Amino acid sequence: MDRAEKKELVAELNGIFSKTSVVVVAHYSGLTVAQLQNLRRQMRAAGATVQVAKNRLAKIALEGTDVASIGSLMTGPTLIAYSDDPVAAPKVAVAFAKDHDKLVILGGAMGSTALNVEGVKSLATLPSLDELRAKIVGLVQAPATKIAQLSTAPAAKLARVFGAYANRDAA
């Protein structure tokens, strides 16, 4: 990799670190290529991304960003997982680490807040943005449905009573 490519990679990583809401750092030593591809596939499906970058270049890219606190984690064979959804990358990383003991989560950052391993795991247990949106829509729709049921219930009961009287007289 020549100097121009390194500068381009640092600029790209800096843009990623500046825009994303959460970054997870993990050691991947011992994972096979197939396992790494599987991790990438799972991350992509969740709306997150996994990237392996040279630690020295990643540390340079971290300078001046909110997630600069993860610079101390960049030792050894590390990968970074990031996403705009604050729950997507941690959720997939923690789930993958449970199945594959070779992936060791070191920590991460959410905005300017540094996260240790337990912080990443607790973030992974939270519902995703889509799940929260669905819950809110459900909560908003529930009262409207109840009101509609209550407003039509007396009329329905009245219609049944009239129907019963009509059927009684006809018989």
Question: What digits encode the pLDDT tens for the residues 12-56?
Answer: 988 888 888 899 999 999 999 999 999 999 999 999 999 998 899
Evaluate if residue 161 carries a pLDDT over 80: no
Task: Return the domain boundaries, the chain.
Answer: 3-126, 127-171
Mean pLDDT of the region 83-101: 90
Let me know the angle formed at the C-alpha of 63 by 60 and 64, rounded to the nearest 5 degrees.
Answer: 155
pTM of the model: 0.72
| pLDDT band of 158, cuts 50, 70, 90 | low
Instruction: State pLDDT tens for residues 44-87.
Output: 999 999 999 889 999 999 888 888 888 888 998 999 999 888 88
Mean pLDDT of the region 98-127: 88
- Residue range 102-106: mean pLDDT, rounded: 92
Give me the residue label for tokens 């640092």. 10
CATH top-level class of 3-126: alpha beta
Q: Transcribe 26-82 into DSSP letters.
A: EE-TT--HHHHHHHHHHHHHHTEEEEE--HHHHHHHHTTSTTGGGGGG--SSEEEEE
